[in-house]
Structure formats: C-alpha cells, structure tokens
C-alpha cells in the first residue's frame, strides 16, 4: 500500500474545492493548478500550494497534460486527482501520470479506453449481453455512413459524441432534413470540447428515464454498487436536478441494474469510482455509457449512503481494499442536488459571465453547498458557468423536496442572472412533485412567458429600502464632491436634501420590474433623530439604515441585503426578492437603442461557422452564424424572411457580448 502525502488536483471550480476538502480531512497536502483567469479563484485559496498552468482558455492550461505533470513534479506530488471533465477520462494522461511515478486517482488507461469511448463500451456491453439502445457505434465516420444508420433505425435519432459527456456534442434529430446540419454541429462541438469528433447514432427513446448506478472497484478484485441516481430532469441534455434513490424502483429492478453495472466494471478490471448509465423505459433498461470518473451528482449518493466517495477514491488508489462490502451498504432517506448556473432567463437561459457582487446561501446546516466561488468572484467566459450545487437530504422524498425548496428560497444572488427561479419553479410543479417526468419533460414544459421570475411586486417597505440605498449613494457622492471642492463645508454639498427655499426633501423615482415597470415616487425628508420620513406613493413610512446594514422600518428592525449594479437595485428581505430600476432624471431622453437590423452576440465567444454572405436572401429561422461559448454552440438565426446586408466577422474571430454580428433587413 502506497501512502499519498501530497495530492495535485488537475481541475478547477467546485470539484477542485470538493477534492481539496476531503484530502485535507485525511491529512493529505493539496496542490491546486490555475489559469490566469483563475488566479484568485476559491480552489487556489483553499489549497496548500498552487501552480500557474497557462492563460484562460482550457486548451492552453487545464488540458495541457505536460504542463500539469510539470506542476506535479515541481511540487513533488505523489498523486494526481483529475476531478471530472478536462483530463479525467484521458487515457494518455493516466498513462503519463503512472509513467512519471505518480498515482492516478482513477481507473487504468485500459479501462478508460474500453469504457470512456462510448462506441467501444457499447461493443463490450453487447458482447457481455447487456441490452443496448439500437444504433450505430462503428469506426467509419463519414456523413453518408451516419446518415444511412439513422435512416435504418428510423427517426427520431440522437447524434452523440463518442468521447462526449455533459450534453456536449449531442443533437436530437426528428426529421431527415435536419440530420447533416446536426452531425456537423455536433462534430464541431465535440472537437472543441474533447478533441475528438467521432459520432454515434442512436434511436431516441421518448419518455424514458435516465438512471445511473454508482460503482466502485479496488485493486483486490472487490466490486460494489452504491445504488442508483435518477438524472431524468434534463434540459438540452444537461442535468438540472438529480436525486437518489430513483423514485419507483422495485427491489428486483434495483438488484438487476446494480448487478449489470458491477458486471460492466468487472469486465474491464475497473478500479476506483465509475458510473454506469442506463435508459429506463418501464421495466426495461438499456446501457448508455460508462463514465470512468467521479460524477458531478455524486453528493446525492454520499447523502443516502453516508460515505465520502472522494476519500474512497484516495484509499483505493493507495492500494487499500474497499471500505465496505455490498451487504454493508444501505439506503438512508432521500437526497436532491440542484445545479445553480449563471444563465439569463431573458436570453433563453444562455450562460452569463460577470461578477457575483452578492452571494448568500442558507445559514443553517440543512443544505450542503458545493461551490467554487465566493462573493466578489467572477464567472469566466472560459469555463462552465456553474455557481454551486445545492444538496439536501431528508427522511423521505417529500421531506427532502421541502428542504430543497427552502434552500433555494434562502439563496441570494446579485450581479448575474441565474437559473435560481427556474429551479424553484420546477420543484413546485405537480409532475416533479409526483415524479412523473422523463428525459424530455423539461424541454416540453412551458413556463410562464418561457421562464419563471419569482421577483415580488414591490411593497412600501421594499420600496423604502431601495430609496434608502439611493439616498445613501447620493450622500457618499456628495461627500466626495465636497472633499474635492474649494469649500468642503458649503451647505450646497449637504446630503439631507437641503435647499435654500425649501424645508428639505429628496425625490427618488423607481420602477418595479415585477409590476410591468410600474413607477413609484418616494419623497424623503430627513428625520431629526436619524433616517427619513418617506412618502411612498403617498403612503407614510419611517425608515433608517443602521451602520451594521440592518434597517428599521416603522420601528421594526430586521436584516436586509441590497445589491446595486448600474441602475438596477435588488432588495433581499425575509427570503423575498424585489428588483427596481432607479430612474435617473439626468439620463432620461437618451436614446440607447441599437441599430435596427443588427443581430448581436448573446454572450462573449468565438465564431465557429458563417453560413451567409452579404446579399444572401434567407428564410425565417435560417442559420446565419454559429457562436461557441462556454463549451457550447449557439446558432444565430434569421428573425424573419429577408436579406443579409453585412457580415462583420469570419470563422475563428473572437467577439464580445452585444457585438453586432450580422446586419439584416426583413422583407
């Protein structure tokens, strides 16, 4: 048995923080790696040491195996944990780590090759008698071969990257006319994400569930499964909320799927943590793939089994036997994990970048928060926009669901749009509460106006708090202006609304985004004992902002968090959220509209394909430009029938958020 003294984590974000925490709890020193974009990231601050590995793009930093190995040698690390994504399922990297005399926290390179390739693993499972989804998993990759396979199994089909994961390089194709474009797009996305554009074609099973089994093997020939997780709640093939155990599982079905998963691991002499994924249709299940690494959703398995899977990985990699045998493992209660992302609901939930000016999670211990960010950190354009995973555990599914809802309600974020309201809205649907969902349910679901927006309509209390913030900001500005002036004690710089011919008042105008931008007039008069006497739309309110950030409204003191970015003010009080826009009289009348006909970039990214040129006439919905950002492709389409008059970028160009890409004239 080889002791691990120092561990390098070849990853970033919440998984790097997760591994660091477990390793340090075992007394193992930790080494982080970071790109220039992550130099101040939370995982860098948590680790005992940190080594720079390159600039922001993952292809120039986290995906450079030689640079990662050099960092491990430089810090005299004994082992490397790859996390998930990046190099975690790279067989050459696993071999290089072992050749360098270090321990790779994961399976052998042979197992990664056998099971990491979806096509190879399906051939192996077919030989072992595990049922497969009908499809093509061969080596020939020209579009005609793939197209013939799709027609043979009939539509709808799933075009899927052989080396993929996380929904990257995947397209559902319902009709034959869309097939070639889907194959080309999936290949581009797979090549950008995994460096491998090989595709598979599978029959797309509608209304099936995605159930995966956590398996573990050691170097002594022992294997166990740690039961199943239901990951059916997906949008665009990305998991949104996971739970364990899977609802509605019978003991017989659980045993059959568990045995099939263990047999799959045993077939390749698997060592470490792995996940065998199945599609479940009624009582029939079909092998999808095996992920030869730890999964994003592993915390729900930890919650129901009481085990630390990262510590299991480290012990098994060091040569120890599995901590438990199959009969020692039992299911305790129910667990959920919700993935909290920086996404804009007004832009079809496209990923967002920027600064998390305000980030607050529930204070109690009822929720586990796995995150790689803290208040003031940034969500970078270079990586996945995950902010955190919110994990809860309850005595049963109803108890756990209630805890998840309370945790989501108690989470506050300011500075970026997120899917927080979307997550909460999902948990309140009757279908989710009764577990009547499948893998395509969420894509079929129509939220109000295409989204959930749980911003409350303003109250006089919330409006007064927003006005307090505006007045405080005005006061700070006035004080700074006075300090820079030749007469800092002039009454013209007073911050209480003093005027030479007035009793002294200030007006604040706010619009309420939850009430169709209804406007509110707040008149504030300074109170002799501190604070202000407000008239909020003719309703009197006495309000004071205290030094510790609390507020007093009509003699009631409570905590309130206020986040102001540009002219938008968000007020968090009593687990509720109110959003106002400050109406600045000085900026009224300024025309901020963009040029008519400009189709702009919805986020920063790189142009990967341009389908049109100036003068082309196109139909509504025709693809114009493909933008790659945050490891996903986004197609800019024609908003109507018309003509392209100008194309401003070519493939390979980098663009910023809001940058005009195409000038378009509707017919």
Q: Which residues are catalytic?
A: 293
| CB-side neighbour CA atoms (13 Å) of 37 | 21
The three-class DSSP label of residue 589 is coil
| CB-side neighbour CA atoms (13 Å) of 587 | 8
The three-class DSSP label of residue 650 is coil
Contact 63, 46 (CB under 8 A): no
- φ/ψ of 493, rounded to 5, equals -100, 5
Pick from 194, 163, 231: nearest CA to 86: 194
**Could you tell me the end-to-end alpha-carbon distance of the chain, in angstroms, rounded to an integer?**
73
Pick from 404, 372, 407, 366: nearest CA to 387: 372
| Residues whose CB falls within 8 Å of the CB of residue 562, separated by 6 or more in sequence, listed in order | 465, 466, 469, 569, 570, 571, 572
Cα–Cα distance, 66 to 276 (Å, whole number)? 30
| CA-based torsion, 68, 275, 20, 342: positive or negative | positive
| Residues whose CB falls within 8 Å of the CB of residue 82, separated by 6 or more in sequence, listed in order | 10, 11, 88, 90, 93, 104, 105, 106, 293
Residue 574 is classified by DSSP as T
Chain centroid to CA 33: 21
Pick from 422, 426, 411: nearest CA to 373: 411
DSSP characters over 139-163: S--SHHHHHHHHHHH-SSEEEEETT
Contact 118, 137 (CB under 8 A): yes
């Amino acid at each position: 048995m080889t002791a691990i003294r120092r561990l390098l984590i070849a990853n970033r974000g919440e998984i790097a923080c997760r591994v660091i925490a477990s390793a340090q709890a075992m007394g193992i020193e930790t080494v982080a790696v970071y790109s220039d974009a992550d130099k101040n990231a939370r995982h860098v601050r948590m680790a005992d040491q940190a080594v720079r590995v390159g600039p922001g793009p993952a292809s120039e930093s986290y995906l450079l195996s030689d640079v990662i190995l050099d960092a491990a040698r430089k810090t005299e690390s004994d082992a490397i944990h790859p996390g998930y994504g990046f190099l975690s399922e790279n067989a050459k990297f696993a071999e290089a780590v072992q050749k360098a005399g270090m321990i790779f926290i994961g399976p052998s390179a042979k197992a990664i090759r056998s099971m990491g390739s979806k096509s190879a693993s399906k051939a192996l499972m077919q030989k072992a008698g595990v049922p497969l989804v009908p499809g093509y998993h061969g080596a020939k990759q020209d579009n005609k071969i793939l197209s013939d396979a799709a027609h043979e199994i009939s539509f709808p089909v799933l075009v899927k990257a052989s080396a993929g994961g996380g929904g990257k390089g995947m397209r559902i194709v319902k009709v034959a006319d869309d097939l070639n474009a889907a194959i080309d797009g999936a290949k581009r996305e797979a090549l950008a994400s995994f460096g491998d554009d090989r595709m598979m074609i599978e029959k797309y099973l509608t209304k099936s569930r995605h159930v995966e089994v956590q398996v573990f093997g050691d170097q002594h020939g022992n294997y166990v499964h740690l039961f199943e997780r239901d990951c059916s709640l997906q949008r665009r093939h990305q998991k949104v909320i996971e739970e364990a155990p899977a609802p509605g599982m019978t003991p017989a079905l659980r045993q059959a799927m568990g045995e099939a998963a263990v047999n799959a691991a045993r077939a390749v002499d698997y060592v470490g943590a792995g996940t065998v994924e199945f599609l479940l249709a009624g009582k029939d299940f079909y092998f999808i793939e095996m992920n030869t690494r730890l999964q994003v959703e592993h915390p729900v398995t930890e919650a129901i089994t009481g085990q630390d899977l990262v510590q299991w990985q480290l012990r098994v990699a060091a040569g120890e036997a599995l901590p438990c045998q199959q009969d020692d493992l039992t299911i305790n209660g129910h667990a959920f994990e919700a993935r909290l992302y920086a996404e804009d609901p007004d832009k079809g939930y496209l990923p967002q970048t920027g600064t998390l000016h305000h980030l607050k999670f529930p204070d109690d211990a009822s929720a586990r928060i796995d995150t790689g960010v803290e208040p003031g950190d940034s969500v970078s354009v270079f990586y996945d926009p995950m902010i955190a995973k919110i994990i809860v555990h309850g005595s049963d599914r109803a108890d756990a669901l209630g805890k998840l809802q309370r945790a989501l309600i108690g989470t506050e974020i300011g500075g970026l749009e997120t899917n927080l309201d979307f997550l909460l809205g999902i948990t309140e649907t009757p279908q989710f509460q009764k577990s009547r969902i499948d893998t395509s349910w969420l894509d079929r679901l129509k939220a109000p106006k295409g989204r959930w927006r749980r911003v409350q309509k303003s109250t006089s209390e919330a409006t007064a708090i927003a006005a307090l913030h505006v007045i405080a900001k005005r006061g700070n500005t006035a004080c700074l202006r006075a300090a820079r002036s030749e007469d800092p004690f002039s009454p013209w710089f007073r911050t209480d609304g003093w005027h030479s011919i007035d009793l002294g008042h200030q007006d604040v105008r706010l619009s309420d985004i939850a009430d169709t931008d209804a406007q509110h007039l707040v008149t504030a008069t300074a109170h002799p004992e501190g604070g202000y006497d407000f008239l909020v739309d003719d309703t009197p309110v006495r309000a004071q902002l205290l030094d510790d950030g609390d507020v007093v409204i009509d003699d009631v003191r409570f905590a309130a968090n206020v986040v102001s970015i540009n002219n938008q003010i968000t007020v968090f009080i009593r687990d509720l959220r109110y959003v106002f826009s400050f109406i600045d009289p000085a900026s009224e009348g300024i025309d901020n509209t963009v040029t008519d006909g400009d189709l702009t970039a919805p986020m920063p990214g790189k142009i990967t394909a341009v389908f049109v040129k100036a003068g082309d006439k196109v139909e509504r919905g025709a693809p114009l430009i493909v933008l790659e950002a945050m490891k996903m492709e986004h197609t800019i389409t024609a908003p109507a029938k018309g003509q392209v008059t100008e194309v401003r970028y070519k493939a390979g160009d980098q663009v910023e958020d809001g940058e005009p890409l195409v000038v378009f004239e509707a017919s």
